[in-house]
């Protein structure tokens, strides 16, 4: 038995898709001579994930995140490379494997498919039968997870009458009723308000702690990753670019601190120029009487001391950049280098 829940080695996925120029003549031509292009969604991606880890799997649109999840869930066949999940080959879709994995998709939901006009509980009951749960197991899990996710009051409402957020939460509960060992979550907070996002973050951490589950989480919302994940894997154009903890990423990619300085009065441009003349310092943003600069981590303390000594300031704050800022910078620098 492997010590990893997920083992991925040199994973490659190539799609073939039809292409054609715009226009009626081109459409007619494509009937007789269709043209195809190959799209490399994943190119030699490798990583391992251990039990109980929550891994943030991030990248821009079209990076290959959802394709990876679909391969891990057994939906897609890899073109090349090896994948083992819970000691099984996912695309063989053995009952044993499928009974231990949950794939929660961004835009499609099981409850919407089977219970759109029916109460949420009817959808949950269908899950009970699919995974052959005893009634007491089913009842206990529905009670516990509904309480954790705070959806007790919507269980008897038809799915179509629920708000997007309520539906999403019910969907997540439905997909955890069989206590999966691996949860693949694709954009879980898409369209959720900040309260629901927070509830989901807390729920996820609590669930993993209680059930020792492993989670792979893709999201464009970096708060999801910062609040839930202990490790992050970054991909772009089908290639893995980073695999490690979030702090390491911030140091490796950014290596800077933000210093927000608020002055007693509105500052003039000469002051801004003075800061810019310090090596390793750049101005990030300006407000009426506050200035945010970024300084290389090695000199940030000295810069802060100098500011305190030289200027009349009302407040000063040294901050780490957010993951969102790090990721944005990382990918935009990558684009410039292309």
Partner 1 sequence: MIRLYLEGAKCEIKRMLQYKANSLFYLTVVLIPPLALFFLWKTILSHGGSIGGYNLSDMVTYFIVTQFFVMNTPYSAWIEIGESIKDGSLSLWLTKPVNHYLLYLFRLIGSWILQWIFGIAGVIVVSIILKDYVVIPKEASTYFLSILFWMGGIVIGFSYGYILNLLSFWFERSTYIIYFSEGIVALLSGMLIPLDLLPAKSLWLFLPFKFCGYVPAQIFLRKISGLDIVFEFVSMAIWIFVLVSLSHLVFKIGSRRFTASGG
Does residue number 116 form part of the binding site for partner 1 (CB under 8 A)?
yes
Considering beta carbons, is residue 70 or 227 the nearer one to partner 1? 70
Q: Which of 107, 140, 285, 332 binds partner 1 (CB under 8 A)?
A: 107
Contact 225, 187 (CB under 8 A): no
**Nearest residue to 6 (alpha-carbon basis) of 86, 102, 107:** 86
Q: How far is the CB of 104 from partner 1 (least distance, A)?
A: 10
Among 76, 154, 235, 249, binds partner 1 (CB under 8 A): 76
User: Is residue 124 a contact point for partner 1 (CB under 8 A)?
Assistant: no
Span near partner 1 by CB under 8 A; candidates 43-51, 105-113, 148-156, 324-332: 105-113
Contact map string, positions 51 to 70, toward partner 1, x by CB under 8 A: ---------------x---x
Could you give the CA distance from residue 103 to residue 66 in angstroms, rounded to a whole number?
11
Phi first, then psi: give them for residue 303, nearest 5 degrees.
-60, -45
Q: In 3-state terms, what secondary structure has residue 180?
A: coil
- Residue 126 interacting with partner 1 (CB under 8 A): yes
Per the CB < 8 A criterion, the answer to whether 110 and 138 are in contact is no
Give the residue with the Cβ less far from partner 1, 18 or 312: 18
Whether 264 contacts 314, CB under 8 Å: yes
Q: Binding to partner 1 by residue 139, rule CB under 8 A? A: no
Of the ranges 94-102, 220-228, 247-255, 328-336, which one interacts with partner 1 (CB under 8 A)?
94-102
Residue 54 buriedness (CB in 10 A; 0-12 / 13-18 / 19+): buried
State how far the Cα of 267 lies from the Cα of 263, in Å rounded to an integer.
Answer: 7
Cα–Cα distance for residue pair 49/203, rounded to 1 Å:
21
Of 237, 216, 212, 214, give the one whose Cα is nearest residue 225.
216
Give the residue, chosen from 9, 14, 89, 114, that forms a contact with partner 1 under the rule CB under 8 A. Answer: 114
CA 123 to mean position of chain CA atoms: 26
Return the bridge partners of 6, or none. Answer: 49, 85
Q: Which of 121, 130, 278, 299 touches partner 1 by CB under 8 A?
A: 130
Q: Which of 116/195 has CB closer to partner 1? A: 116
CB 245, min distance to partner 1, A: 27
User: Residues interacting with partner 1, by CB under 8 A?
Assistant: 15, 18, 66, 70, 73-77, 93, 95, 98-99, 101-103, 105-110, 113-118, 122-123, 125-126, 129-132, 186-187
């Amino acid at each position: 038995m492997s010590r990893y829940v997920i083992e991925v080695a040199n994973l490659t996925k190539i799609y073939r898709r039809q292409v054609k120029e715009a226009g009626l003549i081109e459409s007619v031509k494509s009937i007789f001579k269709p043209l195809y292009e190959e799209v490399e969604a994943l190119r030699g991606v490798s990583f391992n994930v251990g039990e109980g880890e929550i891994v943030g799997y991030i990248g821009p649109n079209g990076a290959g995140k959802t394709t990876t999840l679909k391969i891990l869930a057994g939906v897609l066949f890899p073109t090349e490379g090896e994948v083992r999940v819970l000691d099984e080959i996912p695309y063989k879709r053995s009952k044993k494997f499928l009974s231990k994995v949950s794939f929660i998709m961004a835009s499609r939901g099981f409850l919407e498919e089977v219970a759109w006009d029916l109460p949420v509980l009817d959808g949950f009951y269908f899950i009970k039968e699919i995974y052959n749960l005893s009634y007491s197991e089913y009842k206990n899990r529905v009670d516990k997870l509904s309480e954790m996710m705070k959806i007790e009051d919507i269980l008897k409402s038809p799915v179509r009458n629920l708000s997007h957020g309520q539906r999403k939460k019910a969907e997540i509960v439905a997909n955890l009723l069989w206590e999966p060992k691996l949860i693949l979550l694709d954009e879980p907070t898409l369209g959720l308000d900040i309260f629901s996002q927070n509830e989901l973050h807390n729920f996820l951490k609590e669930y993993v702690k209680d059930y020792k589950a492993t989670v792979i989480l893709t999201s464009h919302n970096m708060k999801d990753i910062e609040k839930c994940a202990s490790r992050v894997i970054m991909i772009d154009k089908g290639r893995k670019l980073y695999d490690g903890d979030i702090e390491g990423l911030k140091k490796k990619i950014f290596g800077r601190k933000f210093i927000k300085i608020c002055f007693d009065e509105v500052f003039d441009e000469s002051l801004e120029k003075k800061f810019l003349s310090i090596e390793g310092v750049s101005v990030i943003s300006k407000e009426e009487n506050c200035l945010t600069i970024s300084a290389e981590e090695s000199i940030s303390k000295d810069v802060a001391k100098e500011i305190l000594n030289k200027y009349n300031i009302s407040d000063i704050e040294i901050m780490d950049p957010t993951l969102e800022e790090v990721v944005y910078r990382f990918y935009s620098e990558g684009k410039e280098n292309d």
